[in-house]
Chains A and B, each alone.
Chain A
């Protein structure tokens, strides 16, 4: 054995701090693939000196066949081998090592530069030139020890990071579950609306909240926090709390929005906010109130066309207070209409050509929307086609809501075991509200109060309509009934009625209805008073003597039906009772 220029010890690399760790990762077993026993023994001797066991085989085939059993830490292989050559064997053995770091030293003859290059390409980590010298072999083994050590540390670190990431992911998924349950658990009628929600991160910055109002009507909020992920999601909890608590109490749209805005302004930093669209559908199912602060337009599909609910306000959480003139907008709806709300993740979803969905599929989908039909399936299909081959960049939420009785809270049915106790209801209608005439049914039914009056409803309805019309037409609008004496005048009367209704400022009709049950029957007491100046009861009384007049019949009719009917306050207030 030649004298080695290297000291026999230490074996570990000198790199700072790794000596202690490195001892465990030094090659322990080697495989030498060399047909010349003398050369093979030379390597084995150096390995022994380094404390490394070695086995020797003469062919690549034998090395491959034995590889799994031996699992060597380092491999020496001759370039020239009978049968499969060293390069092909290197390739195969690297494949068998399957990602485990296994240094392979190719043993080659001098001056074969092309071979040396292709040895590196085939996966060999280093080479030794023949004839072999023990000193060089030892030096190369030590270099390989260092590489092994580095490799080991890298893969340890990779494993640690992967484990931490996995742990993080599991914990986030758990937190998300808890949070989204807390946010969503109080939602109502989620089975009645079509919903698509896709998150870019584990946590979504989009929220959908639904709750019933005391009258059974439905309130819906779709919100989009700036950004996504945990930071966006945590603020959702207090927002959901306030939304549910205030809606159940019947707090108005603007009061709710004011509170949400105040909360978000306190919670979020300056550059964070929540865009939101709030929609309330009262149980009468005749109108829809909406407020849009920084969300993409909502779309209402009615039998007559498409109505856009454009953003008219700032997102919530930017200014300390909502502007004091903020109001919810109103739009007429009918059963069978549908409402579509979305977050901007949908508009801005980019396809592989970097085109946004708002310019691609959205318009066409809206244009193809048939009245009474859900649009979400069409939209989902168009979106999937649009997003094919891309990664989702932002949270997407789409809500498709049918305007139909099944979205409202089921009313408490009073029939059967209805409580035999009375009630008292008062309502004040002003200006705009006076344009459509209420009926007893629409006033009382949402509260479940019409039930007890059902048998007498036709009569009660007549009394109510006559007295209400009188208060409106003569008290508030100051119309002269005698106009109706001619058919031309009749038309003039109603034209004038419509014109004056359009012009109302500060006009008011108040209604109070009280019910007292008694045995199987009961008594309804009705009071209607208006903001007008009144009229003389004398003139009213004078009218009912002529049965042939085509006008002025309302009050006499009501008087016929009622048990008592009395005008007060110069005719601007009337009280009636009806018993059965």
Chain B
């Protein structure tokens, strides 16, 4: 359970992996994962391969990350969503705000 961040300096990319339930309890860890990166240049990959569940507060956290990168849909990619997680992202139409897949 939890959020881990790996920094790939070469690609100036941060990979944030969420494990288990992606809900409000991850709020702090998720924020920690990107707050020290440069919002202007870093790309982010949110890897949800190990996320079992995602609720609306997690959608809110993704919106905060989106705000952090200046609302550029290409700078945040969401990958690896399982069926339940993908359903929530699809219902929220988050493919209009992020690169999903």
Contacts and interface: CB of A to CB of B under 8 A. Distances in A.
B91 A271 contact: no
A344 B96 contact: no
Nearest to B66: A270
B77 to A, nearest CB: 18
A294 B93 CA distance: 6
Given A270-B64, A271-B64, A227 B90 contact: no
B92 A271 contact: no
Contacts of A295: 91
Interface string A275-309: 10000000000000000011111000000000000
Contacts of A297: 91
B64 A311 contact: no
A226 to B, nearest CB: 4
Contacts of B96: 314
Interface string B19-51: 000001000000000000000000000000000
A270 B55 contact: no
Contact of A318 (B24, B63, B84, B91): B63
B91 A273 contact: no
Contacts of B56: 224, 226-227, 275, 344
Given A226-B56, A227-B56, A273 B63 contact: yes
B97 interface: yes
A430 interface: no
Interface string B52-93: 000111011101100100000000000000001001101111
- Interface centre among A271, A295, A356, by most chain B C-beta atoms within 10 angstroms, is A271
A523 interface: no
A271 B63 contact: yes
A17 to B, nearest CB: 35
B93 A313 contact: yes
A72 interface: no
Contacts of B55: 348, 394
A198 interface: no
Contacts of A311: 90-93
Given A270-B67, A344-B56, A356 B93 contact: no
Please classify how large the interface on chain A is, using the bins under 10, 10 to 19, 20 to 34, 35 or more: 20 to 34
A226 B57 CA distance: 6
A227 B67 CA distance: 20
A356 B55 CA distance: 13
Contacts of A356: 84
Given A271-B64, A318-B97, A356-B84, A294 B91 contact: yes
Interface residues of B, number: 20
A65 B37 CA distance: 74
Given A270-B67, A348-B55, A356-B84, A314 B93 contact: yes
Contacts of B94: 314
A394 B56 CA distance: 10
A431 to B, nearest CB: 28
A312 B93 contact: yes
Contacts of B97: 314, 318
Contacts of B60: 226-227, 270-273
Given A227-B57, A348-B55, A356-B84, A293 B63 contact: no
Contacts of B63: 270-271, 273, 318
A231 to B, nearest CB: 11
A534 interface: no
A293 B67 CA distance: 20
Nearest to A312: B93
A272 B94 CA distance: 14
Contacts of B61: 271
Interface in A329-369: 344, 348, 356, 358
Contacts of A272: 60
- Interface centre among B57, B91, B97, by most chain A C-beta atoms within 10 angstroms, is B91
A270 B57 CA distance: 11
B32 to A, nearest CB: 16
A103 interface: no
A416 to B, nearest CB: 51
A344 B84 CA distance: 12
Nearest to A268: B60
Contact of B91 (A227, A270, A296, A394): A296
Nearest to B95: A314
A275 B91 CA distance: 9
- Interface centre among A294, A311, A394, by most chain B C-beta atoms within 10 angstroms, is A294
Nearest to A393: B55
A441 to B, nearest CB: 41
- Interface centre among B60, B84, B97, by most chain A C-beta atoms within 10 angstroms, is B60
Nearest to B24: A227
A86 interface: no
Contacts of A358: 87
A402 to B, nearest CB: 25
Contacts of B67: 270
Interface in A532-554: none
A275 B92 contact: yes
22 contacts: A224-B56, A226-B59, A227-B24, A270-B63, A271-B57, A271-B59, A272-B60, A273-B59, A293-B93, A294-B92, A295-B91, A297-B91, A311-B90, A311-B91, A311-B92, A313-B93, A314-B93, A315-B92, A318-B63, A318-B97, A344-B91, A358-B87
Interface of B: 24, 55-57, 59-61, 63-64, 67, 84, 87-88, 90-94, 96-97
Interface of A: 224, 226-227, 270-273, 275, 293-297, 311-315, 318, 344, 348, 356, 358, 394
Closest 3 CB pairs of A and B: A271-B60, A294-B92, A226-B56
Given A224-B56, A314-B94, 4 more contacts: A226-B57, A270-B67, A275-B56, A295-B91
